Structure 1
Amino acid sequence: DRVSIQQWIDSGNRTCPITKLPLSENPSLIPNHALRSLISNFAHVSPKESSRPRTQQEHSQSQSQALISTLVSRSSSNASKLESLSRLVRLTKRDSSIRRKVTESGAVRAALDCVDSGNQVLQEKSLSLLLNLSLEDDNKVGLVADGVIRRIVAVLRVGSPDCKAIAATLLTSLAVVEVNKATIGSYPDAISALVYLLRVGNDRERKESATALYALCSFPDNRKRVVDCGSVPILVEAADSGLERAVEVLGLLVKCRGGREEMSKVSGFVEVLVNILKNG
């Protein structure tokens, strides 16, 4: 944890206690907000859950197959699809094998159709299911190939507040894979939609959009794209209001020339930084 690591450094140690590799002369701790945001959205499987009887696991597998069949069926009503989505969200949240089963069954297409449906409740549950599926590294590139980015961008623009927040979190999850950072960054309106949400969203939306921007900006080419969307004044204002993730995004944007130039144009930027340093 952070406290123990800081104590290790403050004691004068300049090697990693695990790998024994040397640290920098003046090491600093940088929070991984993208990872923390993902962790906060999902409950880990407890040892008790992972060691549940095989019969219960088999029951979950059988149950998931019936739910998938309902979801993909063209004759299913919206109410039936909503029930299937809700139960699949619960199952896929804690069971990796069911996440793989849902993906391999072709249910991703049905979930994407629900995102397109215009029904906000269906949209929220289908986004939650896609978010759970994205926990599998093998699914991250596949979801992008299936067209999930287009749906996410549309939701970021006109979805409900809860849907927008989930959509931004889904982008963060997908951006864990390096190739997806480039794909998302180059997709028309993806970054501008996040910047817009950061400007006008509620607290949860702003937090998740800033986290997604932070994940995307770890890819250097995306930093200029974020700057070009007029993000710097918005990020400075967000940082001044106490949004820690905005500070982290600015820390990445300062690495590109355009970012530094835009920061120099923001009135009171130095004062904001001083206040952040004073108040932590």
Structure 2
Amino acid sequence: MSIPHLFRCPISLDIFTDPVTLCTGQTYDRPCIERWLAAGHRTCPVTMQPLGDAAALVPNRTLRHLIERWLSSDHHIPDPSATATDIDDAEEPSLAALKRCLLQSNAGANNASTVAALKKVATLASDSDVGRACMLQLGFLPLLLQLVFHAPTPWDLSEQEELALQCALSLLPSSPTSPHHDCLNMLRTETTLASFVRLLERGRVRVKAGLCKLLETIATAAATRELALAAASSARVWQALLPLLQHGDERVSCAAARAVAAVCLAAGEHAVRHGAVPALFKCLSWASAGKGGVGNGSNGGSVAVSALAAVEAVAGTEAGRRAVAREPGAVRALVRHVFVVSSRNEGSEHAVAALVAVCRGESTRAARSEAVAAGVVTQALLLLQSQCGARAKAKARSLLKLFKSM
């Protein structure tokens, strides 16, 4: 469809999803301008005027409202799939028509038109950045979440609900500061949390992996901080999540490891209290012993890297440092992952950072002795000579300084 020029971000040329205005008066999509600023630029991309040290991003609510009104006016977008099932005899249903169909299906009954609408949404979300942005602006995400977590939730999901979960995951914004994440707070109810846990325990492989991805987003998004803490403080969530670290399907174990890492970063003390530390080291052992290892690029390697990232996050709290230091074999396991032959050293930075946290301070003298006995100095020196990144090398130097007196 023809998008008005003023509704497009000047950086991406896509329709705005979260318009923000700089002090120069220029408006950009928040994810785009945040990437520009994160790259070290301190000028306005359009005017090239200096922004100073504080580049304030002011939400442009008026523009966002105008875009939402324009999108709601039954505009049509091209159908990217020639064989997609027609909805209500329309070959190219408008976004408004798709939304009406989903609204009518929220009573929980499966029907062919809802499944067809969800397939159309899934196609648009995967094939079109513009379609994804438009659906996000029109409020498709909360509708899809309601389809997944409507009450009463069955032990498993139907085709309709699985498609709704797939579509919701496709629409999740990439920026953790996006205001669209706020709709995830609808999950913060006793009934929904219970449904989430049941589906983690009994759902099919794709459902479990999808729910882990959803939990990862909740833990990292700024708008869902309270929801993340509520999930992290729930023993039932941890009882359902931690066993997935060693799931038979590596798609699930990878997604679970990333979710645990994100939750540990948001609420490390809760993770320690609910047994995340021993579960993470069991996962490391499992991933390294025939399930992909750390460095060959397989899913097992991704599991190990995410588990190491979670250990680093947990070790950032006092309770986590003590738990890792007390865990039998934990320090030796971290030393083994400082440098792995033929790896891309993806997990090395996390392993080194965790060791720095655990071995710092007088109260962890035993951990330092165990690390030395495990060959930490040799491993760190090998890492410094490898092709690892600058941050990993800087942390390796910090680690070596801790053992200078020994």
* Pair in the same fold by TM > 0.5: yes
Equivalents in 1 of 2:306, 2:142: separation in Å?
37
Cα distance change on mapping 1:270 and 1:114 into 2, 3 Å: same
Deviations 1:43-100 (A, max 9, x none): xxxxxxxxxxxx9736688433333333332597433322221221222343201222
CA offset digits 1:168-200 (Å, max 9, x no partner) = 111222333234233223233334432232244
> Paired residue for 1:264?
325
Which structure carries more relative contact order (alpha carbon 8 Å, separation 6+)?
A: 1
Q: Which aligned pairs between 1:63-102 and structure 2 lie closer than 5 A?
A: 63-74=94-105, 77-93=110-126, 94=129, 95-102=132-139
Mapping for residues 142-221 of structure 1, pairs under 5 Å: 142-145=183-186, 147=188, 150=193, 151-187=195-231, 188=234, 189-200=236-247, 202-219=249-266
- Report the CA distance shift for 1:226/1:257 in structure 2 as closer, same or farther (over 3 A): same
- 144, 150, 158: which one pairs with 1:113? 150
Equivalence for 1:57: 77
Paired residue type of 2:166: S
Aligned partner of 2:216: which letter? Answer: T
1:235: Cα distance to partner? Answer: 0.7
Give unpaired runs (5+ residues) of structure 1: 1-15, 21-54
Structure 2 Cα separation of the partners of residues 176 and 65 of structure 1: 31
Give structure 2 stretches of 5+ with no counterpart. 1-37, 43-74, 81-91, 294-303, 346-406
Shift of 1:111: 4.5
After superposing the two structures, state which structure 1 stretch, 157-166 or 86-95, moved more. 86-95
- The aligned counterpart of 1:135 is 173
State how far apart, in whole Å, the 1-side matches of 2:277 and 2:222 are. Answer: 24
Q: Summarize deviations over 1:105-147 as a string: whole Å, max 9, x none.
A: 9565345339935434233211112223332722212122255
| Contact residue 179 and residue 223 of structure 2 kept, 8 A | no
Counterparts of 2:134 and 2:336 in 1: how far apart (Å)?
Answer: 48
Alignment partners' CA distance in 2, 1:104 and 1:128:
11
TM-score (norm 1): 0.68
Question: Larger Rg: 1 or 2?
Answer: 2
- Opposite residue 180 of structure 2, the aligned amino acid is N
How far residue 234 of structure 1 moved from its aligned partner, in angstroms, is: 1.5
Aligned-pair CA distance for 1:259: 1.6
Change (3 A) 1:112 1:84: farther
Runs of 4 or more, structure 1, over 6 Å off, are 58-61
Q: Which moved more, 1:243-252 or 1:68-77?
A: 68-77
Between the two proteins, the alignment pairs up a number of residues equal to: 229
1:277 to 1:164, Cα distance in 2 relative to 1, 3 A: same
- In structure 2, do the counterparts of structure 1 residues 190 and 68 end up closer, same or farther at CA, with 3 Å as the change threshold? same
8 A contact 2:182–2:224 mirrored in 1? yes
Aligned partners of 1:165 and 1:205 also within 8 Å: yes
In structure 1, C-alpha distance between the alignment counterparts of 2:39 and 2:102, rounded to whole Å:
49
Distance in 1, Cα, partners of 2:145 & 2:330: 44
Q: Percent of counterpart pairs with the same letter?
A: 20
